[in-house]
């Protein structure tokens, strides 16, 4: 593996650029959050330090900017990665079982990153264009290159896709656990309106969120590895699987009608624009709008991404 002292940012020739900033990835956000929280140390950190459940939509949408920036910020990606790493410095403690945890434990940090790498694999799998083994090798190598920007220890990082598959299977079967943070993140029955529906009258939203919440959980269950699904007590039929794949293909067909730039999150879109010569290389990085910022009393907390806007 290349040295951690010489990290290189990813570019537009990577599969990660094609998939990671795609808006369809939001459909996998509940999957990623719950898979991350099932890690004992990560779940403990969320339970004891996170305000995620007080502002779910705002936290989700603002997090897309710095996390996406580590992929799409080009020469500035390493600086963005250091900022993201810094948000985790103070997240540490002892969980209710007496186990010490720290968000910057290399094994914990890499587990969270591994779920981000798997987003591209899952998005390709269920959009009708599954990666072949060569592409999986490529996207994994890109994920390692991306991870290297954080300056973390590379000790827990498997050397190749095959080794990563064994690592993933071991984590799902042996290391992940059902905990409060996981159950809480999966409970979206009372979730507030997303930003796009903020003008929808509250009574209509209370009706609409019932099928929306059930649909998101159903999708998430379908994406889980079977062993994780079993741990959480969910079932999944062959009919469910066929339905999920048909819906994925229909979405992929519809997505082709969406203009290229509109398929991507603003931070990813800005990266594509710079690479295509449609924006200056030194143009300011796109930051989250004010509506996504944490409450004013928490904006000085170093755990929060809170740019001046």
Q: Measuring CA to CA, which residue among 203, 208, 71 is closest to residue 148?
A: 71
Task: Please classify residue 189 by burial: count the beta carbons closer than 10 Å to its beta carbon, then call 0-12 exposed, 13-18 middle and 19+ buried.
Answer: exposed
| 306's tokens | 């809170």
Secondary-structure breakdown of the chain: helix, strand, coil percentages, each rounded to the nearest 5: 60, 5, 35
How does pLDDT run across 161-197, given as a tens digit for each residue? 999 999 999 999 999 999 999 999 999 999 999 888 8
* Phi/psi-derived region of residue 107, left when phi > 0, alpha when psi is between -120 and 50, beta in every other case: alpha
Burial class (CB in 10 A: 0-12, 13-18, 19+), 64: buried
Average the pLDDT over 288-294 and give the result.
90
| pTM of structure | 0.94
What is the predicted pLDDT for the residue at 161? 98
Report domain extents, the chain: 15-287
What is residue 182's three-state secondary structure? helix
């Amino acid at each position: 593996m290349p040295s951690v002292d010489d990290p290189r940012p990813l570019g537009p020739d990577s599969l990660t650029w094609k998939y990671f900033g795609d808006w369809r990835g939001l459909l996998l956000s509940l999957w990623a959050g719950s898979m991350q929280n099932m890690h004992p140390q990560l779940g403990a950190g969320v339970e004891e330090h996170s305000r995620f459940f007080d502002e779910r939509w705002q936290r989700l949408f603002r997090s897309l900017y710095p996390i996406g920036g580590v992929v799409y910020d080009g020469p500035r990606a390493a600086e963005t990665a250091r900022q993201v790493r810094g948000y985790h410095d103070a997240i540490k403690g002892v969980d209710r079982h007496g186990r010490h945890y720290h968000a910057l434990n290399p094994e914990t940090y890499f587990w969270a990153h591994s779920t981000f790498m798997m987003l591209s694999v899952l998005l390709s799998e269920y959009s009708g264009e599954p990666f072949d083994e060569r592409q999986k090798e490529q996207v994994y190598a890109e994920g390692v290159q991306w991870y290297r920007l954080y300056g973390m220890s590379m000790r827990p990082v498997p050397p190749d896709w095959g080794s990563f598959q064994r690592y993933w299977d071991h984590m799902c079967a042996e290391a992940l656990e059902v905990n409060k943070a996981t159950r809480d993140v999966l409970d979206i029955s009372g979730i507030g309106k997303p930003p796009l529906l903020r003008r929808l009258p509250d009574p209509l939203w209370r009706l609409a969120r019932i099928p929306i919440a059930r649909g998101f959980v159903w999708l998430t269950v379908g994406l889980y590895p079977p062993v994780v699904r079993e741990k959480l007590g969910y079932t999944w039929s062959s009919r469910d699987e066929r339905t999920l794949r048909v819906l994925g293909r229909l979405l992929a067909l519809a997505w082709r009608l969406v203009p290229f730039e509109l398929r991507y999150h603003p931070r990813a879109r800005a990266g594509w624009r710079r690479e295509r010569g449609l924006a200056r290389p030194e143009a300011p990085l796109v930051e989250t709008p004010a509506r996504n910022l944490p409450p004013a009393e928490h904006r000085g907390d170093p755990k929060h991404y809170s740019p001046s806007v």
